[in-house]
Amino acid sequence: MPDSLGKRQRRDANQKKLAAREERRLARAERKRDREAGVIEKGVPMGAAEQAEFLPDADELAEMQKEINDTA
């Protein structure tokens, strides 16, 4: 029976968590400096992707509706 009993996996997982936490902390500090310098606007950053990108357009929506009506 191994001596570790999962200790290595727990240690590695904790190290990954700590590294991710540090990356988030550094990113927050950088955003804070940028906001104070006026490089980026204050407030919640808006992502590049809009929800509309993932929604079907009118033609696709009509085709989907037609398929639904045909099967019903």
Classify residue 4: in a domain, yes or no: yes
The distance of Cα 30 from the centroid of its chain, to the nearest Å, equals 18
**Is 67 within a domain?**
no
What tokens does 65 get? 């509706």
Q: Is residue 60 part of a domain?
A: no
In the structure, what pLDDT confidence band is assigned to residue 13 with cuts at 50, 70 and 90? very high
Total of domains in the chain = 1
Q: How many C-beta atoms lie closer than 10 Å to residue 31's C-beta? A: 13
Per-residue model confidence (pLDDT) at position 50: 61
Answer whether residue 51 is part of any domain.
Answer: no
Contacts of 34 (CB under 8 A, 6+ apart): 40
Q: Which domain holds residue 32?
A: 1-42
The predicted model scores a pTM of: 0.51
